[in-house]
């Protein structure tokens, strides 16, 4: 019997491989509505940090989307752990990650439509959120416990949603402000693409803090010419705020891609304390410390900051066009000089027009999402150089085709879905195959299979078989025709039970 089961499992594995490898999309018998992308692992060396991988795949206009858009958790082998697909490839999630709310781990993300993913001539600048976007918070059971929108006529922005230590929400938002742009070289009947930093009470949605970029930063300092507005419905994307983080002494660290600058502001007064980069930088730069078109500025201990240096391609009229990298800078406030501390280059080199992030991990490693390029990577803390990119390069995942994820994260997560496991049953030659899965369950270690001639007379026919991947296929020594699976944790305890199914 064991040999026959093994032969059946080999046959199933072969069929599944052929089915999945061609389209680069996962297909599951027990979860037929889920079609997440398949990925390729290019590098997997010892020393990586523990955790699951969090991405939100979508693609650009006229690119072929492989699989469904949505929010996807994978293990380090690229096997899906949880996937929540969206109803259309023209709807996206971004900034999908684990945060803490009221002392409990939660999932957070933005949801909406990103301008530039539906049409070659969008109404808004590429990368802007379309009206109707919102942020959401999900608990460990994958239930949405809160949805939040921006205030003051702004639209919730794709770039940032952070839960503070005070259990408030800090985020970016954008709206179009009518303006005569001729003083800047743009059209007379134009618009500023204005950004704001907002903080709201999560339970009530009440606005607690508001900082208007247009009121504090001169649009003339933009690296994007105002004449570019004519190609985006007369809207000038002069700022493109893409990250905000709370810092010490009631400050905020704000990155503006199209200014090539990072700002430290006083949250109480709204005044800019210092600017790093751009046309009005308060700092000079040491060798190889400069950056351009950057994303994801974060405070690091010891007067340091990290960022994703796109360095490339966001505007054909504004070089440089350099190699993307993760970058940690040391700020010397006596000499007002920024020095390169660590760099993280991809192997082979990537040139990234937009998006991307750098995350510090629990063991000191650095995790890099490559934004518009379909990769995510993990590095040992010491980093590497453009001349020796293979050094300390521990892990690399590649998405299919031009699928991308605005940011990518590695987080620890325990998922405890309240909905039941999924089951499907098929007759294959002389055997019955039971397919079991439980979307989002991180605690399922094995499956138990029950079968019987009626729904009320089920008995155990497979006491315990290890979980294999997202979906486990289980040959069973029973004709049923009724079957049920029970999920077992690592201690052998039953943690979930499917509905009763019959042979398809």
DSSP conformation letters of 180-225: --GGGTS-SSEEEEEEEEEEEETTT--EEEEEEGGGTS-GGG-SS-
pLDDT of residue 313: 78
- pLDDT reported for residue 429: 77
* In a domain? residue 461: yes
Residue 74 CA to residue 53 CA, distance in Å, equals 5
325, part of any domain: no
8-state DSSP, 219: G
Report yes or no: 37 and 400 within 8 Å, Cβ to Cβ. yes
Cβ atoms within 10 Å, residue 278: 19
Beta strands 393-398 and 295-300 are unpaired
Quick check: helix, strand or coil at residue 9? helix
**76 in any annotated domain:** no
Residue 275 lies in a domain: no
Domain assignment present for residue 206? The answer is no
Tokens describing residue 116: 């530039």
Nearest Cα neighbor of 312 from 304, 324, 303, 302 is 324
CATH code: domain of residue 478: 2.60.40.10
Note down the domain range covering 490. 2-14+417-502
Tell me what pLDDT residue 118 has.
85
Within 10 angstroms of residue 256's Cβ, the number of other Cβ atoms is 26
User: Total domain count for the chain?
Assistant: 1
User: Is residue 376 a part of any domain in this protein?
Assistant: no
Nearest to 484 by CA among 464, 501, 470, 504: 501
First to last CA, the chain: 23
Sheet with 272-277, side-by-side order of all strands: 241-247, 251-256, 261-266, 272-277
- Rg, Å, the chain Cα set: 25
In a domain, 235, yes or no: no
- C-alpha triplet 109, 60, 256: angle, nearest 5°: 60
Predicted local confidence at residue 503, as pLDDT: 85
Give me the tens of pLDDT residue by residue for the chain, a chain 504 residues long: 344 444 444 444 333 333 333 479 999 999 999 999 999 999 999 999 999 999 999 999 889 999 999 999 999 999 999 999 999 999 999 999 999 999 999 999 999 999 989 887 889 999 999 999 999 999 999 999 999 999 999 999 999 999 999 999 999 999 999 999 999 999 999 999 999 999 999 999 999 999 999 999 999 999 999 999 999 999 999 999 999 999 999 999 999 999 999 999 999 999 999 999 999 999 999 999 999 999 999 999 999 999 999 998 766 555 567 999 999 999 999 999 999 999 999 999 999 999 999 999 999 999 999 999 999 999 999 999 999 999 999 999 999 999 999 999 999 999 999 999 999 999 987 789 999 999 999 999 999 999 999 999 999 999 999 999 999 999 999 888 999 999 999 999 999 999 999 986
CA proximity to 223, closest of 296, 181, 279, 159: 279
Q: According to the model, what pLDDT value does residue 113 have?
A: 97
- How would you label 152-184 residue by residue, b for 16+ Cβ within 10 Å and e otherwise? eebbbbbbbbbbeeeebbbbbbbbbeebebeeb
In a domain, 383, yes or no: no
Q: What is the pTM of this model?
A: 0.94
């Amino acid at each position: 019997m064991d040999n026959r089961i093994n032969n059946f499992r080999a046959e199933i594995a072969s069929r599944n491989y052929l089915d999945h490898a061609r389209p680069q999309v996962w297909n599951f018998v027990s979860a037929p509505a889920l079609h997440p992308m398949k990925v390729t692992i290019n590098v997997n060396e010892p020393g990586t940090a523990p955790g699951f991988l969090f991405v939100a795949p979508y693609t650009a206009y006229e690119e072929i989307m492989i699989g469904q858009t949505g929010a996807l958790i994978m293990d380090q082998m690229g096997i899906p752990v949880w996937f929540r697909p969206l109803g259309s490839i023209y709807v996206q999630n971004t900034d999908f990650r684990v945060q803490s709310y009221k002392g409990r781990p939660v999932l957070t993300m933005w949801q909406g439509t990103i301008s530039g993913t539906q049409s070659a001539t969008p109404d808004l600048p590429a990368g802007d959120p379309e009206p109707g976007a919102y942020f959401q918070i999900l608990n460990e059971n994958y239930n949405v416990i809160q949805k939040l929108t921006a205030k003051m006529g702004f639209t919730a922005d794709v770039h940032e949603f952070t839960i503070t230590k005070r259990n408030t929400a800090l985020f970016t938002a954008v709206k179009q402000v009518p303006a005569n742009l001729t003083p800047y070289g743009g059209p007379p009947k134009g618009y500023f693409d204005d950004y704001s930093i907002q903080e709201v009470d999560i339970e009530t949605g009440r606005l607690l803090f508001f900082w208007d970029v247009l009121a504090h930063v001169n649009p003339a300092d933009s690296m994007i010419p105002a004449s570019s507005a004519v190609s985006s419905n007369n809207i000038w994307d002069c700022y493109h705020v893409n990250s905000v983080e709370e810092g010490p002494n009631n400050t905020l660290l704000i990155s503006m891609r199209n200014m090539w600058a990072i700002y430290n502001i006083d949250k109480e007064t709204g005044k800019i304390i210092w600017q790093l980069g751009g046309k009005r930088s308060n700092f000079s730069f040491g060798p190889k410390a400069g950056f351009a078109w950057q994303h994801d500025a974060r405070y690091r201990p010891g007067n340091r900051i990290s960022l994703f240096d796109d360095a490339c391609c966001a505007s054909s009229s504004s070089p440089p066009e350099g190699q993307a990298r993760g970058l940690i800078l040391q700020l010397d406030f006596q000499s007002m000089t920024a020095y390169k501390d660590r760099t993280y280059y991809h192997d082979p080199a990537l040139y990234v027009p937009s998006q991307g992030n750098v995350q510090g991990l629990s063991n000191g490693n650095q995790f890099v999402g490559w934004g518009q390029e379909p990769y995510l990577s993990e590095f040992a803390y010491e980093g590497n150089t453009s001349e020796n990119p293979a050094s300390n390069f521990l892990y690399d995942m590649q998405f299919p085709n031009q699928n991308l994820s605005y940011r990518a994260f590695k987080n620890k997560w325990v998922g405890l879905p309240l909905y039941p496991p999924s089951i499907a049953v098929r007759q294959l030659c002389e055997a019955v195959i039971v397919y079991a899965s439980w979307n989002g369950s991180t605690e399922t270690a094995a499956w138990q299979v029950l079968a019987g001639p009626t729904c009320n007379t089920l008995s155990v026919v497979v006491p315990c078989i290890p979980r294999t991947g997202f979906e486990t296929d289980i040959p069973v020594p029973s004709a049923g025709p009724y079957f049920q699976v029970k999920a077992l944790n690592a201690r052998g305890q039953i943690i979930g039970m499917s509905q009763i199914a019959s042979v398809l």
